[in-house]
Amino acid sequence: MDTPNPSIANVTNENTPAVSSGKWYTNKFRMALIGIATFVIIGVSAAGIILFLEQHKSIDISSTVTLNGKLTSQWGLDDAVAGVGFTCSGRGGYSDMKEGATVTVTDDSGRIIKVSELSTGVYGSSSSCVFKFKAEKVPYSEVYQIEVSHRGKVVYSRQAIIDANYTVNMTLGDN
């Protein structure tokens, strides 16, 4: 009695279709769908990651700090001598408002995330001394608190700074 040879039993006829349950393109179609779906998932994921990183990147903040008051009492300048472009600094109760004064930026939890300093003050008009500062690569926060010297924190939302073209304007003193 002949016993069937297992290796011979698995041999198929050349005329037997490779796919027995459907048309010849079914596997190709499925593979194409899987490829497209994979491409879409990777693309959407990459776009989501890029959007997240873009929204959570650091920002540069530029600012002007204007000290208002009568020059003869605040800065000791004579209006007849001083003019736009002359340097100035605060006096008396505003003596901390000068070149090099510390500017501290904190995040929404109150943690210091950037420290900068005021530039040289420049006479802006008959009643103002204007300082500038720049805080570069300030880490992400939804809210920023900016304090010049010991003058108290001024709160800005991240979106407000972005909407103002990455600038903030602060004023101290009376007009």
Assign 59 a pLDDT band (cuts: 50, 70, 90): confident
| The residue type at 126 | S
Instruction: Quote the pLDDT of residue 13.
Output: 52
> Is the per-residue pLDDT at 50 higher than 70?
no
In this structure, is the dihedral angle defined by the CA atoms of residues 60, 113, 68 and 78, taken in order, positive or negative?
A: negative
DSSP 96-107: T-STT-EEEEE-
| CB neighbour list of residue 141: distance below 8 Å, 6 or more residues apart | 107, 108, 113, 158
Instruction: Quote the pLDDT of residue 77.
Output: 46
Find, among 99, 94, 101, the residue nearest to 70 by Cα.
94
Tokens of 7: 């290796």
Q: Please compute the mean of the pLDDT values over residues 35-42 and round it to a whole number.
A: 82
More confidently predicted of 130 and 173: 130
Rg (CA), the chain: 35
Instruction: Quote the pLDDT of residue 72.
Output: 43
The pTM of the full predicted model, rounded to 2 decimals, is 0.62
- Spatial separation of the C-alpha atoms in residues 103 and 64, rounded to whole Å: 12
Cβ atoms < 10 Å from Cβ of 108: 14
> Is the per-residue pLDDT at 71 higher than 90?
no
